[in-house]
Amino acid sequence: MLPRHQPRKRFGQSFLVDAHYVTRIVDAIAPQRGDNLVEIGPGQAALTRPLVAAAGHLTAIEIDRDLAARLAAEFSSEELTLHVADALEFDFGALGTSLRVVGNLPYNISSPLLFHVAQFESRIVDIHVMLQREVVARMTAEPATADYGRLTVMLQARFAITRLFTVPAGAFRPTPKVESAVARLVPLGAAKPPITDTALFARIVAAAFGQRRKTLRNALSALCDAPALASAGIDPAARGEALGVADFVRLANALSETA
């Protein structure tokens, strides 16, 4: 028998151990036979086991070599395709299409990991992730609220996002100091706003929220002037949090035309 795994802080490891919430998450995913399931950070396989049982096969990305060895010992190659890799650098495009991505994401890398996975949205059917509750609040926020920011705009420009339910800290070992929440992200597909220059869009959004108290006239001064904002229908005296996703798209497309 393998020795008990000691959670590693550098990987942000906190494992889901409550069977009730395992069942709720799997029910939310509703895996079907033949689904192209991809699990980020399977850890001790709490979700992996029922997902494999339902779908027949799962692809897993695990950075911890000790946990990867345990997974390889428990599951056959027909059940599990295992990549020992950092999900932040992993090429999800290599896994084909119709991806159904699942993960209990480490809190310390959740935002950059979401940005990375979002790049592959054309290959994704849906994403079900468990994150710190505050991160999910930011993902689903409305304009002119405290939670609304860069993460909100960048993700909502590509996905319809739903908060499904919260998960208490006691459902994990070791017990984190915060509550978690499960979110579903579905690519917008044909409803996705057309963005002419995605790099410019990202720069504008990052600058608008870089210093939240700054007006857009000042926050975006390196990218455009007040007349350019006004001509795009944006109030130069407004702050970034006042703009909806469609406003950012309109501004980015207007600036790309004059670049």
For the segment 220-258, what is each residue's pLDDT rounded down to a tens digit? 999 999 999 999 999 999 999 999 999 999 999 999 998
Mean pLDDT within 200-223: 96
Give the per-residue pLDDT at 113. 95
**Structural contact between residues 24 and 47, judged by C-beta atoms closer than 8 angstroms:** no
- Residues composing the chain: 259
pLDDT in tens, 64-78: 999 999 999 999 999
pTM: predicted TM-score of the whole model, two decimal places? 0.93
Strand ordering across the sheet containing 124-132: 80-84, 58-62, 36-40, 99-104, 124-132, 180-187, 159-167
Coil vs helix vs strand at 83 = strand
Residue 208 contacts residue 220 (beta carbons within 8 Å):
yes
Tokens 């998960």 found at: 167
pLDDT, residue 149, reads 97
Percent share of the chain, pLDDT over 90: 87
- pLDDT-above-70 percentage for the chain: 95
> Mean pLDDT in the chain?
93
Residue 23 structure tokens? 């069942």
Angle at 46 between CA 41 and CA 50, to 5 degrees: 110
How many other CB atoms are found less than 10 A from the CB of residue 139?
26
In this structure, what DSSP letter does residue 77 have? Answer: T
pLDDT score recorded for residue 108: 83
Question: What pLDDT sits at residue 14?
Answer: 76
Q: Is the predicted pLDDT of residue 4 greater than 60, yes or no?
A: no
CA dihedral 142, 245, 39, 101 (to 10 degrees): 110
In the predicted model, is pLDDT for residue 30 greater than 80?
A: yes
Query: Which amino acid is residue 248, in one-letter code?
Result: F
Read off the pLDDT band of 105 (50, 70, 90): confident
Does 1 score more than 50 pLDDT? no
Lowest mean pLDDT among 114-128, 157-171, 173-187, 197-211: 173-187
Q: Give the pLDDT confidence score for residue 148 in this predicted structure.
A: 98
Q: How many CB atoms lie within 10 A of CB 8?
A: 12
| Domains assigned to the chain | 9-191 (3.40.50.150), 198-258 (1.10.8.100)
Q: Are 232 and 256 in contact (CB under 8 A)?
A: no
